[in-house]
Amino acid sequence: MAPIAVDERPAPPKYHGKFEIHKLKSDQSFQSEPVQGTVYHGDGREEALLKHLQSLPQLQNKPGTQPVLDAIHEFGKGENRYLMSVGDTKGTGIEKLINEKKPKHLPKIHPNSVYPANWTGDANEDKAGYISLEKSEVYAATARGAIELAGLGDVVKIVTGSSTPSLKNLRKTLNLPRPIKFDMIFIDHLKPLYTNDLKVMEEEGLIAPVSRDDNVKVRIELIEMHLALKGTIIVADNVVKPGNPAYLSYVRAKPEQKRAMLARPPLKTQPPVTPNPSDPSEWETAFCDGPLEETLWTPVESDGVTGRGDPDLVYSSEMIGGWDPYTGERDACEVSVCLRKESS
């Protein structure tokens, strides 16, 4: 079973309590009607964030990504300004993965990368891009603004709409050539959708196994990972806070376990969600044998698109630990590398 990365660094400062109840103040940068309830997004703070970024003199001449990320993080420390960002502890681990993986889209690594603004669709072309799926028009506009400020407008394509149908139709929407596989995938949206969306990507052939003898050892924080650099790497955020037992079970399952699930009919209603183990020492073994049956249910937010997945794909999967950037709560990303396809 995959080891859990132990992050020995001190927790970051707590700028916000655990998903506290916010009452909005009548602050000009927020919508005027106060909203009550558990509000940590969608109350005008995203629009306010973009305005703020666009007003900062130091971000005016495409300074690159780090100053933009720093400014976003500073903004998120403010009262009622918690942002759902992955944060720098988990982000640093992901950045190291990206640097090892060298996906074609990174302009630093591939300076000629111009996808999707100017791609011919030729599969052999050494050009690629970063595709971001976002349901909300408002958040898509916020992201687009920040991406422009970072100078990445030419390499990032935002597809607006629900992730599951977007993934199902992605080849058509973006005129992607058939054989194309993703180098790397970052999943960070509605937690119950993770598994179904992964299954849709598997089915659409967007996930590829590694070629033989391509395994390399990579050191990330305190753990060494045997990464298959050519196989698709899937990074899923928030697998500790709030946790995602069904997703972890799926990426850690053996092909025969997944095939056995496929032989059963899909569930019409959501089964009770398996709670995360309360003791972190149980994480290593908790998801070896289940709860795979939870993945037989398709969330309504999938908009009627059900993924059967490809049970023959085998992943090596482990966590990289970190922290919520604002609440100081422990969290982790699950990093799964597609190793091979077993013949059934």
Question: CA 206 → CA 140, 203, 219, 254, distances in Å?
Answer: 23, 8, 27, 20
Choice between 88 and 125, CB closer to ligand SAM: 88
Least separation in angstroms between residue 128's CB and ligand SAM is 20
Residues ≥6 apart with Cβ < 8 Å to 279: none
Q: Which residues bind ligand SAM (CB under 6 A)?
A: 84-86, 133-136, 139, 162-163, 188-190, 193, 301
| Cβ atoms of 229 and 214 closer than 8 Å | yes
Choice between 144 and 230, CB closer to ligand SAM: 144
Token pair recorded at residue 233: 């790497």
Choice between 12 and 277, CB closer to ligand SAM: 12
Least separation in angstroms between residue 226's CB and ligand SAM is 26
Helix 65-76 / helix 45-55 crossing angle, nearest 10 deg? 130
Q: How many helices (H) and strands (E) does the chain have?
A: 10, 8
Choice between 302 and 316, CB closer to ligand SAM: 302
Least separation in angstroms between residue 56's CB and ligand SAM is 18
Least separation in angstroms between residue 184's CB and ligand SAM is 13
Choice between 92 and 136, CB closer to ligand SAM: 136
Name the burial class of residue 173, with classes exposed (0-12), middle (13-18) and buried (19+) by CB atoms within 10 angstroms of its CB.
Answer: middle
Residue 125: count of CB within 10 angstroms of its CB: 14
Least separation in angstroms between residue 159's CB and ligand SAM is 9
Least separation in angstroms between residue 277's CB and ligand SAM is 23
158 phi and psi angles, rounded to 5 deg? -100, 125
Token pair recorded at residue 276: 């995360």
How many Å apart are CA 72 and CA 325, to the nearest integer? 11
Choice between 128 and 133, CB closer to ligand SAM: 133
Choice between 232 and 302, CB closer to ligand SAM: 302
Least separation in angstroms between residue 324's CB and ligand SAM is 11
Token pair recorded at residue 31: 């919508």
Of 183, 186, 216, 221, nearest in space to 320 by CA: 221
Least separation in angstroms between residue 13's CB and ligand SAM is 19
| CA dihedral sign, ordered 20, 68, 323, 335 | positive
Choice between 27 and 301, CB closer to ligand SAM: 301
Choice between 154 and 301, CB closer to ligand SAM: 301
Determine the residue type at 194: Y
How many Å apart are CA 183 and CA 146, to the nearest integer? 23
Least separation in angstroms between residue 284's CB and ligand SAM is 26
Give bridge partners of residue 274 from the DSSP assignment.
none
| Cβ atoms of 297 and 269 closer than 8 Å | yes
Of 1, 83, 93, 95, nearest in space to 43 by CA: 83
Give bridge partners of residue 340 from the DSSP assignment.
314
